[in-house]
Amino acid sequence: MTDVSNTPTSSTAPAALVSAGSPEAAALVAHPRGAQPDQPGDRSAFGFEVVRRLDPTADGLGRDGVRHGRAGILHTPHGDIQTPAFVPVATQATMKAMLPEQLVDLGAQCTLANAFHLFERPGEDILDEAGGLAKFMNWNGPTFTDSGGFQVMSLGVGFKKTLAMDVTGLKSDDIIAKGKERLAFVDEDGVTFKSPLNGDIHRFSAEISMGIQHKLGADIMFSFDELTTLMNTRSYQEESVERTYRWAKRCVAEHQRLTAERTGKPYQALFGVVQGANYEDLRRHAAQQIASLDFDGVGIGGAIEKRLLGNTCAWICDEMPELRPRHVLGIAAVDDIFAGVENGGDTFDCVAPARTARNGAIYTRDGRWNVLRTALKHDFRPLEEGCDCYTCTHYSRAYLHHLLKSREMSGCTLATIHNERFFVKLLDDIRASIVGGYFDEFRDETLTRFYANGSRG
């Protein structure tokens, strides 16, 4: 592996590491880096530096066998993120069934909230008045907001919480909900949609998404893009990539205007999103388009066929400037995490660990299993032997079984704490393996153990 710890890769980024929950992070909520009265946010408060890269291999998926995986440090106005890192999803400025203090305790470095849901309620003006997302939710650390593109897309197609990564045997109706009322319609300027809360008609565009996200005040925002499914035709994917590029240019222009206009605020980084489904030429073309614009980082988005996840990340990273951080949107299967990291992903978010926890699905090093199984009613062991999370050090499988069967909220809390800790620690351990030079061995050992019993995780 390539050690670049002594290589100056981001000359303007602050050197000190700040972790969520630390006294330094608490100070940054009140006085974020790069915020000066009557001045636009200082862009130098955001930056990325590489600590160590994976060595190329004969079967590396990048050009000439390059593996784009690396360990690094992402500097933001509200603190630093050591990467690779898992980003817990606090959709509505909170993670369901958990407090921000509990996220800090399980080692989370950052959170991601959803622009669409916060626009719906309480409204972006409320968060702006509160001093931004971090202050509003009492989170002493970096924050992300997505653009709302996924939620708007889901109103118009499948009404699903996730996108299929394997379409073998599926019909278009399994993804695109034919015969149901479409709640969103895409045109060249943006998307018109009907609110699932009250039926009101709303409009999202590049400029509107940027305006909402600037008021939400996250450290990292994403450009407004059109998210397609694997069931869309090749011709539509081509049209969508070009439309997303046109929207991306508008996002950059509006972002720059708002940054200059909203003085006294910390700089908010803007990531462009690369689409193109599972087509290599479209992904590379879209990545080149996004790389040509003045973005701070890149989001690897859209529907990605599971077998091509690593390839897709590699194609995109081949075309991107190395010092732009890369966020992989909506990925949390254990094998997908390793494929994403190895091929260039720096940060990852997904709602799956928390959502499945509320239904009793528990992630462990030995696979995913369900605590609601009848046999566990009499099992007084922790969810996972050796796990250091609050749940495993205080409660038993039998107790979690009882709480979730009884539909007690505390059951959702305890199960979510464990699952979120599993993924936060998995990415921490992957980072340590890159820095320590044993990534390949750690990957093979972890995946062999996790999937030994046919786990779906």
Q: At what angle do helices 334-342 and 409-436 cross, to 10 degrees?
A: 30
Element spanning 149, H or E: helix 149-156
b/e map 357-368, b = 16+ CB within 10 Å: bbebbbbbbebb
Is residue 448 a contact partner of residue 10, using CB atoms and an 8 Å limit?
no
302 marked among binding-site residues: yes
148 is in an annotated binding site: yes
Q: Helices marked H in 31-130 — which ranges? A: 100-105, 115-120, 124-130
| 146 annotated as a binding-site residue | yes
Pair 342, 443: CB distance under 8 Å: yes
Q: Are 161 and 300 in contact (CB under 8 A)?
A: no
Token digits of residue 282: 């479209």
Tell me how far apart the alpha carbons of residues 282 and 230 are, in angstroms, rounded to a whole number.
13
**Contact indicator for 251, 270 with CB cutoff of 8 Å:** yes
How many residues are present in the chain?
457
H or E element, residue 425? helix 409-436
Interhelix angle 439-450/334-342, nearest 10 degrees: 160
- Quickly list H helices, 217-343: 234-261, 280-291, 309-318, 334-342
| CA 79 to chain CA centroid, nearest Å | 17
Query: Is 5 among the annotated ligand-binding positions?
Result: no
DSSP assignment string, 200-212: -EEEEEHHHHHHH
> Of the candidates 250, 232, 249, which has an alpha carbon nearest to the alpha carbon of residue 240?
232
Q: Please give the single-letter amino acid code of residue 444.
A: D
Strand partners, 49: 73
Q: Is 418 annotated as a binding residue?
A: yes
* 225 contact partners, CB below 8 Å, separation of at least 6: 147, 149, 244, 247, 248, 273, 275, 301
Tokens found for residue 24: 């330094």
Which of 146, 219, 318, 346 is catalytic? The answer is 146
Task: Determine which one of 128, 219, 346, 349 is catalytic.
Answer: 349
State the DSSP H helix or E strand holding residue 328, giving kind and residue range, or none if neither: strand 326-329
Residue 392 assigned to a binding site: yes
Q: Does 256 appear as a known binding residue? A: no
349 in active site? yes
Q: Can you tell me which residue has the tokens 């206009």?
A: 261
| 190 assigned to a ligand binding site | no
In the residue annotation, 146 being an active-site residue is answered as: yes
Q: Is 150 annotated as a binding residue?
A: yes
Q: Does residue 110 have a known ligand-binding role?
A: no
Residues designated catalytic: 146, 349
Residues in binding site: 146-150, 225, 275, 302, 387, 389, 392, 418
Q: Which residues are annotated as a binding site for substrate?
A: 146-150, 225, 275, 302
Residues placed in the known binding site for Zn(2+)? 387, 389, 392, 418
